[in-house]
């Protein structure tokens, strides 16, 4: 089954053709990051406008690269939630138009489910059940993936997402948006023990995270240094901050895996590109004899190939939509029934 998949939940307009959930026939991404960089973060109104401009050429290129016409496609998968509402609406309305005109099934896909599905492309042997740490710009969840379409959140952030914390701390250090990516590189040349930073825990919820105190600690260090007209080493501060975030992520994920008896550990989302997180979880899994899966670096950030991967399993589970499909800014990963 060949799906045309569309993604427009944030600042990437993407289209892909994916066969049977695992084989990527084409994948096209138009990133808006350079434009949003000017403002230090994503400007929702600009994002919507750029999606409207890019969606037709990006989709056409995905079909051309796959060597297929719309008629040769078996269904249209689209990210419908969660994300920036104006941005999501562009993809959802375009997908509805395509599905109606070509008389193809319309398959709504949850953004975080698709991030997890990026792993099905990278590791064709991977099948649920497994435990997954989903770390993106907007979400930080530990998820028990029981089957392709049955997912249970067992831990979550109480405040900032890991990616958001990386971006905000990076911004305070003068690193341009999206700071997490750049900070990861800078941190490679810093001393991770140069600054003692808090490792916040949530009382009574061992799998939950809290990153806002850690972010504030870094911002305070920078402000105090400025007042004393001192300069802090950005590589040392980056390395210390990255280590603190990764310590928290690894600690809770390892505990969750141990206590739920998971044999397979998976990571997903933009922050799963973080080199320290990848190394550390790989070590933990090796020591404990667990299988470890991570998406290829080009599938960690937002893309449509992952939407096509998850869309296939949603279709098999009967999760298609009619012309009344709407975009939703917020949506639990369990789906609309959990609202
Ligand atoms: O999943 P994603 O592309 O978009 C959302 O769904 O939010 O995640 C984007 C986030 C940004 O906060 C970005 O700074 C972060 O992922 N990110 C990283 C790295 N690469 C991307 N954070 C830390 N280290 C990285 N290497
Ligand atoms: Zn994402």
pLDDT digits (tens, 9 = 90+) for 216-269: 999 999 999 999 999 999 999 999 999 999 999 999 999 999 999 999 999 999
Kindly report the CATH number assigned to the domain that includes residue 10: 3.30.420.40
Q: Which residues of 240-276 are buried (b: 16+ CB within 10 A; e: fewer)?
A: bbbbbbbbbbbbbbbebbeeeebebbbbbbbbbbbeb
Residues 99, 80: Cα–Cα separation, whole Å: 14
Q: Which residues form ligand 1's pocket by a CB distance below 6 Å?
A: 10, 115, 136-138, 163, 166-167, 178-181, 184, 269-271, 273-274, 301-302
The yes-or-no verdict on residue 338 having pLDDT over 80 is: no
Residues 258, 177: Cα–Cα separation, whole Å: 36
Average pLDDT along the chain:
97
CB atoms within 10 A of CB 218: 24
What is the number of the ligand 1 atom nearest to the C-alpha of 115?
1
Same domain, 260 and 112: no
- Domain annotation covers residue 31: yes
Residue 202's pLDDT is: 95
> 263 vs 128, 142, 293, CA distance in Å?
11, 15, 11
- Domain annotation covers residue 121: no
User: Which domain does 137 fall in, by range?
Assistant: 129-295
Same domain, 281 and 305: no
Structural domain count of the chain: 2
Same domain, 51 and 34: yes
Average pLDDT over residues 128-148: 97
Residue 336's pLDDT is: 84
> 257 vs 103, 210, 265, CA distance in Å?
44, 19, 7
Average pLDDT over residues 188-192: 98
Query: Does the pTM exceed 0.95?
Result: yes
Same domain, 206 and 279: yes
Using the mean position of ligand 2's atoms as its centre, give its distance from the Cα of residue 144 in Å: 19
State CA 158 to chain mean position distance: 18
């Amino acid at each position: 089954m060949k799906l045309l998949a569309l993604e427009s939940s944030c600042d990437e307009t993407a289209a892909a053709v994916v066969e049977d959930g695992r084989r990527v026939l084409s994948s096209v991404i138009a990133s808006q990051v350079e434009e949003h960089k000017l403002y230090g973060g994503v400007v929702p109104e600009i994002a919507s406008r750029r999606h409207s401009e890019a969606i037709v050429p990006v989709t056409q290129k995905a079909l051309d690269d796959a060597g297929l016409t719309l008629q040769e496609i078996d269904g249209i998968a689209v990210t419908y939630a969660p994300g920036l509402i104006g941005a999501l609406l562009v993809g959802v309305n375009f997908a509805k138009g395509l599905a109606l005109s070509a008389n193809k099934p319309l398959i709504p896909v949850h953004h975080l489910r698709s991030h997890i599905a990026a792993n099905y492309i990278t590791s064709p042997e991977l099948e649920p059940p497994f435990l997954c740490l989903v770390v993106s710009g907007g979400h930080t969840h530990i998820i028990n993936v029981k089957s392709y379409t049955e997912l249970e959140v067992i831990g979550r952030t109480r405040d900032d997402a890991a990616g958001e914390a990386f971006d905000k701390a990076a911004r305070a250090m003068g690193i341009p948006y999206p700071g997490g990516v750049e900070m990861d590189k800078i941190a490679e040349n810093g001393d991770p023990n140069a600054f003692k930073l808090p490792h916040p825990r949530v009382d009574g919820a061992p799998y939950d995270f809290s990153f806002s105190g850690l972010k504030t600690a870094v911002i305070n260090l920078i402000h105090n240094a400025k007042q004393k007209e001192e300069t802090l080493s950005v590589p040392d501060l980056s390395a210390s901050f990255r280590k603190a975030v990764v310590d928290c992520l690894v600690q809770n994920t390892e505990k969750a895996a141990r206590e739920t008896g998971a044999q397979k550990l998976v990571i997903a989302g933009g922050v799963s590109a973080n080199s320290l997180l990848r190394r550390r979880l790989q070590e933990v899994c090796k020591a404990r004899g667990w299988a470890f899966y991570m998406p290829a670096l080009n599938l960690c950030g937002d893309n449509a190939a992952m939407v096509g991967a998850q869309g296939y399993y949603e279709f098999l589970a009967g999760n298609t939509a009619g012309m009344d499909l709407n975009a939703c800014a917020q949506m639990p990963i369990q789906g609309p029934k959990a609202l």
